[in-house]
Structure 1
């Protein structure tokens, strides 16, 4: 694979200069640059492995959260009550989310009304000022 980037995980004049500069400014920076030069080519594979592991972990949590549990408590009555409570809480969360959306819309409407009122007041004052000094600024609405 041919790489043409100036800063790449290889012993190039730019990376050596950055490493030396890093050691002079703050030694951990120089050490980090040295590690990048030596092990930087493995970084893409490492990132892919970490992303895959994270995706697997989050999907396991999602499955667990949505009721696809691998094991219960061993008590059927408790498991039934827990599932009913989780469903009730999910319903409450949906109601709260809907109320939040309605409130946000209400606040947007209030801001729009306030802005509209301020704009109308500005336009009225502008027309009044133009009426006092005729010929200074042409009216674009006329």
Structure 2
């Protein structure tokens, strides 16, 4: 009985380039939008097509405007301290804080919407006043 051993094929140049680009993307994603902007500016300074390519990629992937694929922040979870009463208190407090944070974000969104509506209504009133005159 023979055991089949997997044959390891050398990676093609395209696979290596794809792997390097993926690792670079992951490295920049871990550091956030400022790292992407710095990479783009350096690309424009040293090799302008690289900067242009980064700008296009950032716009296409929505990294330029802060719309990342991760919409919800990961929930914080600390290792158990061994004290079940404290762990329960900590979990309850963290949940309450997360709920308050979510409510506050919703409140800010409603506040922005109300401000935008008020500004738009004011614009429409001025516009109507000009057309009437």
TM-score relative to the length of structure 1: 0.44
Q: Which has the larger radius of gyration?
A: 1
Highest RCO, 1 vs 2 (Cα 8 Å, sep ≥ 6): 1
| Greater helix content | 1
TM-score relative to the length of structure 2: 0.47
